[in-house]
Copies of this chain bind each other. A is one copy, B any other.
């Protein structure tokens, strides 16, 4: 099979230039463009072989990073669930899942190059996306098929997404949880989340604030003061809860951005007020903490459909209008009562 390297060698240009001719011909000088096009024709090179192989599902391989373990190991379990769901569904389609590790975005791009050069991976699945993510930029520039679990976190994610993505509407999940508590007659529903800026964190916090402003009857200034921003973890959740307790005579309930924070708040408060977490991890179900559940099986299914649904030799799937597609899925609130007793320290 002719590779992009063969074309580059035949045309006497770099591989990047061949990629530019194929993907952004306007930026290549006409003379160079013609040389490359001639080499493509002469060698019968068909770009995006990996995208095609992916669609024909002949021993195609998906590469995915094994995410670094989260500090508390509780919140990280959502990515383990995703990896499991993706591997099961890929298995059924006879796609292989290849793992790699990377400490940061730079290392991950290095892995992209390595796995791409060895022709080991036909498409990547990325998690933990962030605003201005250099990983997705690299894959777009190098026309390598990929889909992310997580938005690009740009202003135009839904109207004109930079790449195909699947995500869960965390803002709506947290808003549902808050509204549910307000509907049971509680008013002072506090929030413990992560510091700004964080795409996911800011989105979830907004869900709580909007619901409070709409339905609590409290004034916006008071609402704003009922929110804590701390790094994820059980101990920081307990600390934030202690601070909220010392600041306000009465807190009726707490909504948290993660189950790790919720466990800390639960232990600190002794389970005396309703606590809601996020991700429905085994920790919240074991202890009996309400939580927002992400439809992780649907996320995995959506990622594979977007990966396999590409058409017209494009590097990644597009909507009929020519834009990458996306799916924003809805989470579900799971309401629970504590199963575990908390007894006094003397």
Q: Which of A187-195, A247-255, A266-274 contacts B (4 or more CB under 8 A)?
A: A266-274
Taking a contact as CB atoms under 8 Å apart, the answer to whether B345 and A74 are in contact is no
A29 CB–B CB distance under 8 Å: no
Taking a contact as CB atoms under 8 Å apart, the answer to whether B287 and A234 are in contact is yes
A98 CB–B CB distance under 8 Å: yes
Give the residue of B71, B97, B267, B287 whose beta carbon is less than 8 angstroms from that of A98: B97
Across-interface contacts of A271 in B (CB, < 8 A) = 345
Q: A199-247: which have CB < 8 Å to B?
A: 233-235, 238
Across-interface contacts of A26 in B (CB, < 8 A) = none
Taking a contact as CB atoms under 8 Å apart, the answer to whether B233 and A260 are in contact is no
Q: Which of A176-184, A312-320, A335-343 contacts B (4 or more CB under 8 A)?
A: A335-343
A96 CB–B CB distance under 8 Å: yes
Q: Which of A8-16, A81-89, A139-147, A149-157 contacts B (4 or more CB under 8 A)?
A: A81-89
Min CB distance A165 to B, Å, is 22
Taking a contact as CB atoms under 8 Å apart, the answer to whether A268 and B84 are in contact is no
| Chain A residues within 8 Å of chain B by Cβ, number | 52
Across-interface contacts of A96 in B (CB, < 8 A) = 98, 120
The CA-CA distance from A341 to B264 in the complex, in Å, is: 9
Taking a contact as CB atoms under 8 Å apart, the answer to whether B340 and A342 are in contact is no
The CA-CA distance from A16 to B96 in the complex, in Å, is: 26
Q: A265-301: which have CB < 8 Å to B?
A: 267-272, 281-283, 286-287
User: Could you give, for residues 71-108 of chain A, a 1 whenever the CB lies within 8 Å of some chain B CB and a 0 otherwise?
Assistant: 11110010011011001100100001111110000000
Known: A70-B282, A120-B96, A283-B74. A267 touches B87 (CB 8 A): no
A185 CB–B CB distance under 8 Å: no
A196 CB–B CB distance under 8 Å: no
The CA-CA distance from A63 to B128 in the complex, in Å, is: 25
Taking a contact as CB atoms under 8 Å apart, the answer to whether A344 and B341 are in contact is no
Min CB distance A43 to B, Å, is 24
A186 CB–B CB distance under 8 Å: no
Across-interface contacts of A2 in B (CB, < 8 A) = none
Taking a contact as CB atoms under 8 Å apart, the answer to whether B84 and A282 are in contact is no
Taking a contact as CB atoms under 8 Å apart, the answer to whether B340 and A267 are in contact is yes
A118 CB–B CB distance under 8 Å: yes
Across-interface contacts of A281 in B (CB, < 8 A) = 73
Taking a contact as CB atoms under 8 Å apart, the answer to whether A270 and B101 are in contact is no
Across-interface contacts of A283 in B (CB, < 8 A) = 72-74, 234, 283
Taking a contact as CB atoms under 8 Å apart, the answer to whether B98 and A342 are in contact is no
Give the residue of B84, B100, B339 whose beta carbon is less than 8 angstroms from that of A87: B100
A49 CB–B CB distance under 8 Å: no
Give me the 9 closest cross-chain CB pairs, A-B, nearest first: A73-B282, A344-B344, A234-B286, A270-B343, A97-B99, A88-B101, A72-B282, A87-B99, A267-B340
Given contacts A91-B100, A267-B267, 4 further A-B contacts (CB under 8 A): A97-B100, A267-B340, A270-B345, A272-B346
Some 25 contacts from A to B, beta carbons below 8 A apart, are A66-B84, A68-B84, A69-B77, A69-B84, A72-B283, A73-B282, A74-B286, A83-B99, A87-B99, A91-B101, A96-B98, A96-B120, A97-B98, A97-B99, A97-B100, A234-B340, A235-B287, A235-B340, A267-B340, A268-B343, A270-B344, A272-B346, A342-B345, A343-B344, A344-B345
